[in-house]
A and B are shown apart, each in its own frame.
Chain A
Amino acid sequence: MADKVMNENNTAVQVTDLRRTFGDFVAVDNISLSVTKGEIFGFLGPNGAGKSTTIRILCGLLMPTGGTGTVGGFDINKESELIKQVIGYMSQKFSLYDSLTVEENIKFFSGVYNVPKVKKKERMEWVLEMAGLMEKRNTLTRNLATGFKQRLALGCAILHEPRIVFLDEPTSGVDPISRRKFWDLIGEMSQAGTTIFVTTHYMDEADYCDRLALMYRGKIIAEGTPNELRKKYMSRDVLEVNVDKVVEAFNVLSLHRIEAAIFGSTLHVMVDDRETSRAHISSVLGDSGITVKGIEKIPPSLEDVFVTLIEVS
């Protein structure tokens, strides 16, 4: 049973017209998507876009209001308990037991996932190694730093070597180095054939994914590989404008109906014609007493893509 064949076209997750409402609020608004076996599928979008609700439905934790679909070949409406046997899930909120040690948490989940006795030890060592927790195996989980906690949670969710792993905001609140390590791990798992379905609101993480879906207000507004998205949705150029007073510059540009977005200490401006725009921006900002340190064309980041898409919709 555990090896019920996935769809002939190698699909790990597939949903059609998935919908979930909470009273009047439509959290997931008739979305359709499919994820191929072994791919890293990134689910992007701002907080409250409906990513977590979607993931919970896929994991069998929440019933959809409408729509059909399968996860690992099992029906999301009827076979949620079977789905739970082939998936690993890491919820957004850290949800291991605080008063248990690292090792006790691992032992608990390998018990609950029914990891065979002969493999238990090996899997535990693997998780400890992977999470870099070898020396902290007897530390109470509550005393771990966030990065470690996150990796331990991932470890506990994949102890039983699930075919599909759902990760809900796995890197939120984690320092950049830990985030990097985390994505390396996810890459390794995907190499080994595990399907990864991951949500994030860090746009810079999107490039680690094989394919992306951008979710906004319950709807999927764009889908494709990172490069496809860049090409398809960014016909315009992005200029990075380096100025001394970012917020003032942003206000000035808005006043002149020039589309811009603040990125740290710089502005990204979407333009149709690079050369005329460059001159135009310089003069507009110069007139307002803002010093322009430089204007440069940059390749559009996925965040630029996303900002554009949200403005369109």
Chain B
Amino acid sequence: MKLLRVKAIMKKEFIQIWRDPLSLAMAFIMPVILLFIYGYAITFDIDKIPTVVFDMDKSSLSREFVNQFHESGYFRVNSYVDNYKAIDPYLDAGRARVAVVIPEDFSKNVHKGCNVKIEVLIDGGDSNTATIAQGYAIAIAEGFSQRFRGSRVTPFIDSRSRVWYNNELKSRNFIIPGLIAIIMAVIIALLIALTIAREWDRGTMEQLISTPVKTPELIIGKLIPYFLIGFADTILTILMSTLLFNVPLRGSVILLLGLSGIFLFGGLSFGMLMSIVGKTQLAASQAALLTSFLPAFLLSGFIFSISNMPKPLQIVTYFIPARYFVTILKGIFLKGSTLKILWLEALLLTLFAVLVFIAANRKFRKRIE
């Protein structure tokens, strides 16, 4: 292995990326765009759900009850109707996603201590929001009724939940750490997958393989620039996450960077392998997209919880390195996990990286065929 050769290839690769606006944009603008989309635009938090109210009771008590909905912050009561039929247009047009119907005998029954039924209509078109809205509505109703039951009925078990690690249940806190894995996957899929295939497409590879350059020199020389770009992106993303989006970073930054480096190395080796196997730029980038970006996005637990997946799919996730990396990211960011806890994930990531790197080296042929 000659350092001079690695250096020559590295330099060349850097110049090529630097002079290619598309690659540059992909490397440095894409992460920022992704962060903004996930940080601001897509949020799974529910608040201020537009709500319509049909209050048949029209008492001070019913008004107080409606107020509870409004004040919770989860619902925004924006209109009142005076007959049942009038609710439909609101829900149909999406002007409201929840309708609260209060029966005539509401205050009477509350004072009597009878069972009171109120009706909450929820637009189930978005099942995620619907489920959460339902939960909040029940909670508000229970809270309200407890105030009136007073000490008459004391429950045997008083369950109180406390959410740890992300106690405001901000979806941003749980999405953004995982996003680092996704951003790396993008770089892997869209940048490095082209590096070998492009040289075959353009004919420059024929010249290159006629030289005494050795396979590991070529592969390492090509990996380093992308590794540095990926690492810069990682730092950029971590800084934006903590400074701009106030995601807590409770664990060790060194550990975070170290494990990111291992994941990056594995991912880049994998992208390189795709580029070697794919031979043409199109085949390589599609293969990389299908095998690294999509699984990282869908099957890593980044957004969709693995434990809710069907069993066969859960098994598949064990073969996706991003799964381990997302666990690591969320662990270090939100729980302050240390290597003592994350050692298995770290070990598997390392194993994956080493195996794929070896595979890329073996698969590359300094021959035309």
A85 lies within 8 A of B207 (CB): no
Select the residue from B15, B207, B208 with max chain A CB neighbours within 10 A: B207
Given A95-B204, A111-B7: A104 and B210 interface contact (C-beta under 8 Å): no
The segment from B76-84, B184-192, B237-245, B361-369 that touches chain A is: B361-369
Total contacting residues, chain A, CB less than 8 A? 34
Residue in contact with B203 in the complex, picked from A84, A95, A114, CB distance below 8 Å: A95
Residue in contact with A111 in the complex, picked from B8, B202, B366, B368, CB distance below 8 Å: B8
A111 lies within 8 A of B5 (CB): yes
B210 lies within 8 A of A59 (CB): yes
Distance of A168 from chain B, by nearest CB (Å): 10
With a cutoff of 8 Å between Cβ atoms, the chain A residues found around residue B205 in the complex are 95
A85 lies within 8 A of B212 (CB): yes
B367 lies within 8 A of A61 (CB): yes
With a cutoff of 8 Å between Cβ atoms, the chain B residues found around residue A84 in the complex are 210-212, 366
Given A63-B369, A108-B11, A113-B212: A91 and B2 interface contact (C-beta under 8 Å): no
A-B contacts at CB below 8 angstroms, number: 88
Q: Which of B189-205 contact A (CB under 8 A)?
A: 202-205
Residue in contact with A112 in the complex, picked from B202, B211, B366, CB distance below 8 Å: B211
With a cutoff of 8 Å between Cβ atoms, the chain A residues found around residue B11 in the complex are 107-108, 111
Is A202 close to B, CB under 8 A? no
B210 lies within 8 A of A99 (CB): no
Is A56 close to B, CB under 8 A? yes
Is B168 close to A, CB under 8 A? no
B211 lies within 8 A of A97 (CB): no
User: Whole-angstrom distance between the alpha carbons of A91 and B368 in the complex?
Assistant: 12
Is B4 close to A, CB under 8 A? yes
Is B16 close to A, CB under 8 A? yes
Is A42 close to B, CB under 8 A? no
Write the B336-369 contact mask toward A (1 if CB under 8 angstroms, else 0). 0000000000000000000000000000001111
B8 lies within 8 A of A112 (CB): yes
User: Whole-angstrom distance between the alpha carbons of A98 and B202 in the complex?
Assistant: 10
B206 lies within 8 A of A91 (CB): yes
Is A96 close to B, CB under 8 A? yes
Write the B298-338 contact mask toward A (1 if CB under 8 angstroms, else 0). 00000000000000000000000000000000000000000
User: Whole-angstrom distance between the alpha carbons of A153 and B206 in the complex?
Assistant: 13
Is B24 close to A, CB under 8 A? no
B16 lies within 8 A of A100 (CB): yes
B210 lies within 8 A of A87 (CB): yes
With a cutoff of 8 Å between Cβ atoms, the chain B residues found around residue A112 in the complex are 5, 8-9, 208, 211-213
A60 lies within 8 A of B5 (CB): no
Is B209 close to A, CB under 8 A? yes
User: Whole-angstrom distance between the alpha carbons of A107 and B211 in the complex?
Assistant: 14
Distance of A94 from chain B, by nearest CB (Å): 7
A62 lies within 8 A of B368 (CB): yes
Q: Which of A75-126 contact B (CB under 8 A)?
A: 80-81, 84-85, 87, 89-91, 93-100, 104, 107-114
Q: Which of B1-57 contact A (CB under 8 A)?
A: 2, 4-5, 7-9, 11-12, 15-16, 19-20
A62 lies within 8 A of B5 (CB): no
Residue in contact with A56 in the complex, picked from B4, B15, B213, B368, CB distance below 8 Å: B368
Distance of B132 from chain A, by nearest CB (Å): 51
Distance of A190 from chain B, by nearest CB (Å): 20
Given A59-B210, A61-B367: A99 and B19 interface contact (C-beta under 8 Å): yes
Given A61-B367, A62-B368, A100-B12: A95 and B207 interface contact (C-beta under 8 Å): yes
With a cutoff of 8 Å between Cβ atoms, the chain B residues found around residue A85 in the complex are 212
Distance of A52 from chain B, by nearest CB (Å): 10
User: Whole-angstrom distance between the alpha carbons of A60 and B208 in the complex?
Assistant: 12
Given A62-B367, A87-B210, A114-B2: A108 and B203 interface contact (C-beta under 8 Å): no
Distance of A312 from chain B, by nearest CB (Å): 33
With a cutoff of 8 Å between Cβ atoms, the chain A residues found around residue B210 in the complex are 59-61, 84, 87, 89, 91
B12 lies within 8 A of A108 (CB): yes
Specify the chain B residue showing the minimal Cβ separation from A62.
Answer: B368
Question: Hey, which bits of chain B sit against chain A, CB under 8 A?
Answer: 2, 4-5, 7-9, 11-12, 15-16, 19-20, 202-213, 366-369
Supplied contacts A80-B367, A99-B20, A156-B207, 4 more A-B pairs, CB within 8 Å? A60-B210, A104-B12, A112-B9, A114-B4
Interface CB pairs A-B, < 8 A, 12? A61-B210, A62-B367, A91-B206, A91-B210, A97-B16, A99-B15, A100-B15, A104-B12, A108-B12, A112-B8, A114-B2, A114-B212
Chain A to chain B: the 10 pairs with minimum beta-carbon distance, closest first: A111-B8, A89-B210, A95-B207, A93-B203, A99-B19, A95-B203, A85-B212, A91-B206, A108-B12, A84-B212
